[in-house]
Structure 1
Amino acid sequence: MKPMLIAASLGLMAATPAFGQANDLAVEGPSRFDAVPTEAVSPFGGLSLTPTRLVLEPGDSRGEVTLYNSGGETVTYRVEDVELEALSQGGYAPLEEGADAPDWSASRYLRYAPRQVTLGPGERQVVRVISRAPRDLEAGEFRSHLRFSSIPTVAPVDELEDETTTEESTSVEVRVGLEYRITIPVILRTGEGVMGTEIQSARVEAQPDSDGTRVLVTLNRTGDWADHGVVRVYDAAGEEIGLLRGVSVLAPLQTRIVSVPVTVTGAVPARVVFETDENNAELIAAADIG
């Protein structure tokens, strides 16, 4: 008797309904690549993405995300939009099941393609994102996320070599692949807005499970759009003793608390600053640590 093949999947999300496809969403098929960019996010499973966040500025209606298969097997990936609530303590949380799209959601204005792609080892695919936001929208910032998920596969079961196997010795073999996901924010800015962030307060807090300390920094968004940058902690001599990258106060939040570990043993935090990204560092806000 031949073995029985059982198909199974782990934690698959239902695909969202397809948007109407426009001519400007036409995309080319997979292509080869030499190496995954160093700035790409690539946590596991050969699934890599760049950029790690996509920002569409006013008048800039197009964006691209490149998906890489750096693994050794052919994989099918699904692309879907999801809404995640930004938390004041950092990170995101899914909305309640069945909840309406929030006011800050960008997905109503976005179209993207392809929504599913199969990539062989060493292949990449560009996913195009198009904004359809009305030109008369007032200054503001909308946000949704794009989730890239590998579709789990069931490996084929080889034929039994011993054709004399009896029914009493029937065996079942199941090989289920894992699902890998990466979710990135897509930020849509509208109108003639401005950025602005201030440091409301900063204080030192001991970490009870270690000998280290951390600095809790409360940031307030004062502009229509969120700054995106790094928080640095300095001692009294001006030496950097802590750093946290990728910080922003995203809508609908007006206030966010970030925790910056002090990486130098015995150092005493004295000052904290919030700057733009490394490539064009510009001071946004600074404060003494109380």
Structure 2
Amino acid sequence: MINKDRKDSLYYIQVFKYLLFFVFISTVISPTAAQGNLLIYPKRLVFEGRNNIEKLILSNTGKDSAVYNISFIEYRMNETGDLKIISKAEAGLNSASSHVRFFPRKVILGPYESQKIKVQVRNTQSLEDGEYRSHLYFRAEEDEGALRKKSLTKKTTMSVKLKAVFGVSIPCILRKGINTTKVSISDLELIQLPKLENVLQFNLKRTGNMSAYGDFIIKYITPNNKVYEVAKMQGVGVYTPGNFRTLKVKLQKPDKLSFNKGAFKIIFTANESKKILAEARLML
């Protein structure tokens, strides 16, 4: 009979293979967050209803050991979708960090090794209805053990070495109460750039008490009603308290076609589902 340690080992191997598969096929459609040699699955945590425990899988795809410190960081999203770090509370932006705990807070991963992080919601009884959001931040550090080993094999010298330190973050969202959020798509415009590139610009508008999050599919419909998928975006959000976001999407023009007649159809669906949240059409 396979013991518990061997079961855990097989589980991590399967998860690691799964993460690598998605990284190779596309960083756009992958459900992982990735930077450097660190992969994180899933790339977004949402606690709502009775769901109060989630697990993250961290995987090191590099050939060297890696050390990551985990903490919370607070962001505000602007109208172009960029995230700005904030250091103090802002109106309409509720932090989740004081209501969520995780373990461990520091992870040391050997080459091609994975580890599970437990994330749990607590102290939510007195919370008012609405959405609370923080970001879990994974910051790379030097492996102290590796540095100590190097220092023993070399003579003591004074030197200065600059090395880039990266971090990656994922949203951690706590929702309480009924979700009243609705979204709409407006202000569609086709922009033609040099070198025959085409970009569709539009606004994603949000109303209600919680963030909007989902996937876009853009289709081109010819004058004789042939349909071509010309763009896809996954994991697009409008975070509270913001109420709209401007997007610019590069289009893949089918061979021997021009975007001077016909129409574009934009469909926004709930993340990783077929539930339509909003759609719009631009006649050319």
Q: 1:263 to 1:115 in 2, by over 3 A?
A: same
Partner of 1:159: 154
Partner of 1:92: 83
1:185 aligns with 2:171: yes
Quick one: percent identity of the two aligned structures?
24
Paired AA for residue 189 in structure 1: R
CA contact (8 A) 1:47 1:180 kept: no
Per mean C-alpha deviation after superposition, the further-off stretch among 269-278 and 74-83 is 269-278
Q: 1:49 to 1:175 in 2, by over 3 A?
A: same
Q: Distance in 1 between matches of 2:77 and 2:128?
A: 22
**Aligned to 2:212, what secondary structure does the other structure show?**
coil
Partner of 2:204: 219
Partner of 2:110: 120
1:230 to partner: Cα distance: 1.5
**Aligned to 2:239, what secondary structure does the other structure show?**
coil
Aligned CA-pair RMSD: 2.6
Q: Give TM-score scaled by structure 1 length.
A: 0.75
CA contact (8 A) 2:60 2:109 kept: yes
**Aligned to 1:108, what secondary structure does the other structure show?**
helix
1:153 to partner: Cα distance: 4.6
Q: Distance in 2 between matches of 1:70 and 1:259?
A: 32
Q: Which of the residues 44, 66, 79 maps onto 1:53? A: 44
Which runs of no fewer than 5 residues in structure 1 stay unpaired?
A: 1-27, 161-169
**Aligned to 2:253, what secondary structure does the other structure show?**
coil
CA contact (8 A) 2:130 2:176 kept: yes
Question: Deviation string for 1:239-266 (max 9, x for gaps)?
Answer: 2212222112111111111111111163
Partner of 2:25: none
1:284 aligns with 2:254: no
CA contact (8 A) 2:35 2:167 kept: no
Larger helix fraction of residues: 2
CA contact (8 A) 2:200 2:248 kept: yes
1:228 to partner: Cα distance: 2.1
Corresponding pairs, count: 247
Listed as ranges, the matches of 1:1-290 within 5 Å are 32=9, 33-34=12-13, 35-36=16-17, 37=19, 38=22, 39-44=31-36, 46-95=37-86, 98-100=87-89, 103-135=93-125, 137-153=127-143, 155=147, 156-157=150-151, 158-159=153-154, 172=158, 178-207=164-193, 209-237=194-222, 238-264=227-253, 266-268=258-260, 269-278=263-272, 280-289=273-282
Q: 1:101 to 1:82 in 2, by over 3 A?
A: farther
Q: Distance in 2 between matches of 1:286 and 1:149?
A: 38
Q: Distance in 2 between matches of 1:172 and 1:89?
A: 45
Larger strand fraction of residues: 2
CA contact (8 A) 1:152 1:178 kept: no
Q: Distance in 2 between matches of 1:78 and 1:84?
A: 18
CA contact (8 A) 2:65 2:143 kept: no
